[in-house]
Structure 1
Amino acid sequence: MNFSAGEMADNCSDSTGAENCTLADPTGLVPSYPDITGWLQFSITTQFMLIFVIFFTNATVLVLVAYFKTLQVLENSFIVSLAAADGLLSVAMIPGVDITLNPTRAGNKYACLLLWCSIMFSSSASVFSLLALSLDRYLKIVYPLHQYMTAARVCGILAFVWSYTFITAFVLPFVGLNGIKDPSFVCFDFKDVFNIAHLQFYCYINGLAPFLFMFVMYGKIFRVVWEKLRAESDQIPAGAEGVGRSKQWLRRELKVIKKLTMVLGTTAVSWIPTTCMLLRQIYDPTYYPTFQTRVILSTLTYMNSAVNPLLYSLRIQPFREALSKVFCRRCQRPNAIHPSGRDTT
């Protein structure tokens, strides 16, 4: 989501930028800035592309799970939640593109809230789904002899994730906990749209805290897996029977962890800079990020939802096999028996 209209209006009201501002219409809502025209076009084009990519990749994950019964297992519940949250972001981006193309609509209070609350809701649901997915992997690796994630607990966790994020990111601003007091508010300035206390709560609890928990869990996971691998190598001679299965399991878990860590890393790179920028805006009234900075950070946040299924979901073996059955039928190996010989293929 770019911030062209709000930032332009804000800059035009500044005494230092007024002399360089050329109004395109009598209302003064759409000033002309030749120096950012390229960035504006880049932002709009990127948003259109990401809407389709995000929707297609995450919808593919959901369709595969719905179509193939082999994927309808308990451990894939959090993957489905992550894909659903990321897919919703593509829908939430549509009002943002509309307001970018029609800046006069940014003055409508409820249109502005719908834009930002939808993005906050889908992004929070994505982050907490990734946290639940990480917790599931943590419990399976660190406490392999205990079955913590029962069907009831998984349903309870997912119900809490979606209800909590919906209430905190969507319902509260609409029922009155927002910062829109003046009809001349700037839609693209978070401090004008949201209540400051609510914005701080969102940044710390829904933004930074989940990443802190995930980093701690992955540190423990890597340590446990590494210690088990070293213990296996030291205690059992090479080539001994019984080491194969254990090592294969540990290496498979380590591979899955690496993939999930890639998702965690890309999510952190995508969202932490934006969160830090927002916190600086809250605590430093003199700071106002440039249009180029906003475009870059917003593009990073949206790209995260596009790469999540490519980095994790669609790289897991069962998902790859299901995907090949749908899009690459020729890749499947037929179990044909040659009638003239003993060899089989």
Structure 2
Amino acid sequence: MESVTESPSAGEDPTSNLNLLYIISELAIAVLAAGGNGLVCVAVLRTRQLRTVTNFFLVSLAVADVFVGLVAIPCAILTDQGLPRNQFLLCLFMLSSIITFTQSSIFSLLAVAIERYVAIFNPLRYQAIMTPHNAIIIIVITWVISLVIGLVPALGWNKGPPQSGLCLFVPIIDMSYMVYFNFFGCVLFPLLIMFAIYARIFAQVRWQLRRIATERHGNAENREGNKAMSKDVKTAISLFLVLFLFTVCWVPLHIINCLILLCPICQIPLPILSTAIILSHANSAVNPIFYALRMRSFRQAFVNILLGGRRSKKTRIFPTSGSSANRATN
């Protein structure tokens, strides 16, 4: 989920202290993003109760964040210095990879929101709809679409090689692509859909809670159903907060992109630009911390891995129960 605008360029002649602080911050985030999200992937692979359809999509999100730490942030540091010079095609693919990982994160969050919607509104058909096989197909499709979207600049929608030969985001990537196509079409529109989905989920939950309050005495089956719904709701709240964090971290950078396109005479102060870029990258590092704080199963799995805990007993990779599978994210 790499930055989608220009990092502080050499042409802007930033102070050495600010440039050093930027690089140190980026490197720290890269280590946290790669290590933390790698831990998420290992936790799901090694822990039976974490192998759920919901967590498959979270692993897809984690993989994108691992690539942010290993590929996108190093590319951002290089382009901060205008590198590689006089290598236009290589520069284009580096900048395109930045966009690809961001887009994959968005689509992973969208898949999670849709999965939660099915779990809440159609629990009886959840197992038939959200099978592991279908989840893998969805993940592959989201990555393919993200790759196509990210490669659009490399396929021709760019400003061409700059005369300076420097590899910088804004002089090469067309801001009309970044604002109208990428932000409005591929980022903002999915975000609005996701917020609408969660709003619908929480409205349904509120209605269910009112219904439960009027039915003070329920049979065992109703109580069990209410318990399962409560767990689904808790999961939905946690995942909505992940979406909220993503939005808070990325929207400032996209707003700056809009200013660059729509207000060419507007000057973006270097500290604000650097802060927005670092904030967008920091989103890749915060999700594992959030899982550890919010989701008990992930927290326990992280502790077991970090302390060298013995791998859980071999069992089926995919759970067979929709509701029981969803509990693992709590």
TM-score of the superposed pair, with normalisation by structure 2 = 0.82
CA RMSD of aligned residues (A): 2.6
The residue correspondences of 1:115-264 to structure 2 (distance < 5 A) are 115-147=94-126, 148-170=129-151, 172-184=152-164, 187-190=167-170, 192-199=171-178, 200-237=180-217, 244-264=223-243
Instruction: Give the partner amino acid of 2:134.
Output: R
Instruction: Give the partner amino acid of 1:236.
Output: R
Instruction: Give the partner amino acid of 2:257.
Output: L
> Gaps spanning 5+ residues in structure 2: where?
310-330
Matched, 1:267 2:246: yes
The residue correspondences of 1:1-345 to structure 2 (distance < 5 A) are 3-8=7-12, 31=13, 33=14, 36-91=15-70, 92-100=72-80, 102-103=81-82, 105-147=84-126, 148-170=129-151, 172-184=152-164, 187-190=167-170, 192-199=171-178, 200-237=180-217, 244-312=223-291, 315-328=294-307
TM-score of the superposed pair, with normalisation by structure 1 = 0.79
> Gaps spanning 5+ residues in structure 1: where?
9-30, 331-345
Q: Structure 2 CA distance, aligned partners of 1:228 and 1:266?
A: 27
Q: Deviations over 1:182-209 (max 9, x none)?
A: 433664352x212344322111122111
> Could you say if the C-alpha distance between residues 226 and 329 of structure 1 is closer, same or farther in structure 2, counting changes exceeding 3 Å?
farther
Between Structure 1 and Structure 2, whose CA radius of gyration is higher? 1
Q: Deviations over 1:287-339 (max 9, x none)?
A: 23121111110111011111122223774333233223223479xxxxxxxxx
Q: Structure 1 CA distance, aligned partners of 2:82 and 2:40?
A: 35
> Could you say if the C-alpha distance between residues 104 and 198 of structure 1 is closer, same or farther in structure 2, counting changes exceeding 3 Å?
closer
Q: Structure 2 CA distance, aligned partners of 1:61 and 1:245?
A: 30
Residues matched between the structures, number: 302
Alpha-carbon contact 2:65-2:285 (below 8 Å) kept: yes
Q: Deviations over 1:131-159 (max 9, x none)?
A: 11111011111222223223343233212
Instruction: Give the partner amino acid of 2:273.
Output: R
Q: Structure 2 CA distance, aligned partners of 1:163 and 1:137?
A: 23
> Could you say if the C-alpha distance between residues 7 and 254 of structure 1 is closer, same or farther in structure 2, counting changes exceeding 3 Å?
farther
Q: Structure 2 CA distance, aligned partners of 1:276 and 1:247?
A: 42
Greater RCO between the two (CA within 8 Å, min separation 6)? 2
**1:104 Cα deviation (Å)?**
5.5
Q: Structure 1 CA distance, aligned partners of 2:208 and 2:219?
A: 17
> Could you say if the C-alpha distance between residues 161 and 241 of structure 1 is closer, same or farther in structure 2, counting changes exceeding 3 Å?
closer
Q: Secondary structure at the match of 1:229?
A: helix
